[in-house]
Amino acid sequence: RAVLPGMVARGRGHIVIIGSIAGRSAFVGGAGYATTKHAVMGFAESLMLEVRDAGVKVSVVSPGSVDTAFGGGGGPRATSQLRAEDVAAAVMSVVQTPPEVLIHRVEVRILSPKRPR
């Protein structure tokens, strides 16, 4: 609400929303998480349709499992998880596209969970 009117007035801007691969499917114990991430995707899709003709981009970067304190990061699964830096690099690649190009959705995954990092 705070920045979108200015973007529309300028005829340019880029909103990047962080989604989640896990939010696209159901899993035991994940009702609340999946619900909110599905809502995020619906919001992003609607917002993109509403503002793209005004020159404002809306992108969603959806990472897989990320090694963070939220997910109990740093444990034995850490080598099969993305790092925060990986997600940041994906965001940067999305925002550095030419003005006439929109990357609306990106999924970010580990290439191979068995491959050492």
Q: Which residues are catalytic?
A: 33
Q: What Rg do the C-alpha atoms of the chain give, in angstroms?
A: 16
Nearest to 106 by CA among 97, 94, 88: 94
Q: Hey, what are 110's tokens?
A: 């580990």
